[in-house]
Amino acid sequence: MCNPSLVLVCWMVAAMVVVGGGVAWEWPFWVLGLMGAGLVGAAVLMTRNTLGQTRMNQEDVMSGIRQLQQLSGLNESRGPLEMEPDVLGSHIQRMVADVNKRMASLEEERTKIIAIMENLVEGVVAFDPKGKVLFTNPSAHRILGFDAYASQGRSVWEIIRNQELAALVEGCQQLAWHERRRAEVELYSPASMVLEVYALPFPFPNQKKGSVLVLHDVTELRRLEQVRAEFIENVSHELRTPLTAIVGYLETLVDEPSLETPNNRKFVHIAHQHAERLSRLVEDLRSLSEIESGKVVLRSESVLLCEVAKDVSEMFQHQLSKKNLKIANTIGEEIRAWVDRDRLIQILVNLVDNAIKYTPAGGTIAFQAIPFGDERISLQVKDTGQGIPSTDLPRITERFYRVDRARSRAEGGTGLGLSIVKHLLQLLDGKLRIQSELGKGTTVEVILPVSPPNLSSHRL
């Protein structure tokens, strides 16, 4: 860009030359005046345009310097930059060095992230908002069976030949930023395996959403769970027959008149108690194994909760009167839930049995049902028993976990009742919540659906 002062001088010299030439050639005065004024006006006009352009260029330079300041993190409290060449040059050099340093740091972080992703056991596949592949790691290539280089830029349906996985990717567009979906998917190609899949969205410019799939191979874990379930089922099945015979013979011996000696009847009675406890344990293990293995088929229907609670109460009349306990049923006569009646009775039998064991004489056990949201009902079993310590509540549904082991054995508990309840509720699309306070009793909530799902019966 030309210097504005130099342009103005050149125009003024040109005006002087023209005026001088006109005087030498004896032009009229008014012609010389017009020509001189015209040349000077043109000089001023062009100089002003040049000055305006220079000012705009200067503002562009300053704007670029301010952007560099923001990128490099320079302290803006230093005041405006001076425009002397030496000062401006040093500022720019320092900012460029800071930007380069930051770029190098970002590249280092990027390298670390890529190294971590490359060595993850879980497969990771990232998609843009249009469902095109952005990133994959070696574990994803192994699990899904596609080539690393050929996958870039391809659509979800081209690299994932599974409808459930593809639907998870497309469903991420409807998820909120903090939400994620989990599914267990069985693949048959390139190899037969079971995947635990998490799908979640991640942000793109203009409020668009990409999606990420995290694939975890749980084939071996599921195989071991199946082996364990089959082992428990087989052992419990084999033990049932001899235990039934032992309990039967011991019941006969308890009433045998010839055992009227100081210790014989006592020994037989103790053996009978432990045989019955072992029989209950085997039966609970068999029930739990059937639930976990998916052999329990639901026959759900609309059930009156008041009638179910009444039936369960009648089952325990002998135990209740023996401990001088009262049982109250305050469930409304029209309250219903969509459940398998037999499985609900099994749940309540376990809960009432626990309440009777841990409620002292003169206590109360109560049934209550209250709405829980729009499509759920909370069926509660309350007792005035000894309560459960808060430290034990998170583990109370684990198998064989007992709060008071000595008392649980004395009461004949197996430690599997609440575990069976939890698994049955999962089967019924329900939830279990337990609230308790030491010395004030326990409230167990069984949250059940009030209307049928899409399928009226299903397997676990």
DSSP string, 399-451: TT--SSHHHHHHHT--S-HHHHHHHHHHHTT-EEEEEEETTTEEEEEEEEESS
The answer to whether residue 438 sits within a structural domain is yes
Residues above pLDDT 70, as percent of the chain:
73
Task: Find the length of the chain.
Answer: 460
How many beta carbons lie within 10 A of that of residue 59, not counting itself? 10
pLDDT band at 13 (very low <50, low <70, confident <90, very high): low
As given in the structure block, the two tokens for residue 389 are 């310590």
pLDDT band at 406 (very low <50, low <70, confident <90, very high): very low
The answer to whether residues 110 and 199 belong to one domain is: no
Beta strands in 218-351 (DSSP E): 301-304, 326-329, 336-339
Confidence check: pLDDT of 249 > 80: no
Confidence check: pLDDT of 259 > 80: no
What's the pLDDT score for residue 154?
78
Q: How far is CA 343 from the centre of its chain?
A: 29
The answer to whether residues 308 and 172 belong to one domain is: no
The answer to whether residue 460 sits within a structural domain is no
Rounded distance between C-alpha atoms, residue 401 and residue 405, angstroms: 8
Mean pLDDT within 218-227: 84
Confidence check: pLDDT of 196 > 70: yes
The answer to whether residue 69 sits within a structural domain is yes
- Count of domains observed in the chain: 4
The answer to whether residues 109 and 124 belong to one domain is: no
What's the pLDDT score for residue 361?
86
The answer to whether residue 13 sits within a structural domain is yes
Q: Report which listed range, 28-42, 304-318, 409-423, is most confident.
A: 304-318
pLDDT in tens, 103-157: 888 888 888 877 887 788 888 888 888 888 888 888 888 888 877 676 777 777 7
In our burial notation (b when 16+ CB lie closer than 10 A, e otherwise), range 434-446 reads bebeeeebbbbbb
Confidence check: pLDDT of 267 > 70: yes
The answer to whether residue 456 sits within a structural domain is no
Mean pLDDT within 204-233: 82
Confidence check: pLDDT of 455 > 60: no
The answer to whether residues 310 and 331 belong to one domain is: yes
Angle at 195 between CA 192 and CA 196, to 5 degrees: 165
What's the pLDDT score for residue 457?
39
The answer to whether residues 316 and 423 belong to one domain is: yes
pLDDT band at 77 (very low <50, low <70, confident <90, very high): very low
What's the pLDDT score for residue 350?
87
Q: Which domain holds residue 241?
A: 222-293
Confidence check: pLDDT of 51 > 60: no
The answer to whether residue 134 sits within a structural domain is yes
Where is average pLDDT lowest: 35-49, 319-333, 378-392?
35-49
Question: What is the widest separation between alpha-carbon atoms in the chain?
Answer: 164
The domain spanning residue 277 has which CATH number? 1.10.287
The answer to whether residues 387 and 270 belong to one domain is: no
The answer to whether residues 436 and 423 belong to one domain is: yes
pLDDT band at 459 (very low <50, low <70, confident <90, very high): very low
What's the pLDDT score for residue 284?
73
The answer to whether residues 96 and 226 belong to one domain is: no
Indicate the SS3 state at residue 330.
coil
Domain boundary among 293, 310, 331: 293
Mean pLDDT of all residues in the chain? 76
Domain boundary among 268, 293, 318: 293
* Phi, psi (rounded to 5 degrees) for 36: -65, -45
Domain boundary among 71, 86, 119: 119
Confidence check: pLDDT of 74 > 60: no
Where is average pLDDT lowest: 63-67, 168-172, 363-367?
63-67
Mean pLDDT within 89-111: 78
Residues above pLDDT 90, as percent of the chain:
2
What's the pLDDT score for residue 64?
64
The answer to whether residues 442 and 309 belong to one domain is: yes
Mean pLDDT within 321-328: 88
Element (H, E) at 213: strand 209-217
The domain spanning residue 320 has which CATH number? 3.30.565.10
Parallel, antiparallel, or unpaired: how do β-strands 181-187 and 133-136 relate?
Answer: unpaired
Which residues have C-beta within 8 Å of that of residue 84, sequence separation ≥ 6?
none
The answer to whether residue 306 sits within a structural domain is yes
What's the pLDDT score for residue 41?
67
What's the pLDDT score for residue 58?
61
The answer to whether residues 98 and 165 belong to one domain is: no
pLDDT band at 48 (very low <50, low <70, confident <90, very high): low
The answer to whether residues 181 and 211 belong to one domain is: yes
Rounded distance between C-alpha atoms, residue 171 and residue 370, angstroms: 34
The answer to whether residue 114 sits within a structural domain is yes
What's the pLDDT score for residue 4?
53
Quote the pTM value. Answer: 0.55
The domain spanning residue 168 has which CATH number? 3.30.450.20
Confidence check: pLDDT of 82 > 70: no
Confidence check: pLDDT of 372 > 80: yes
Mean pLDDT within 376-398: 84
pLDDT in tens, 61-72: 666 666 655 555
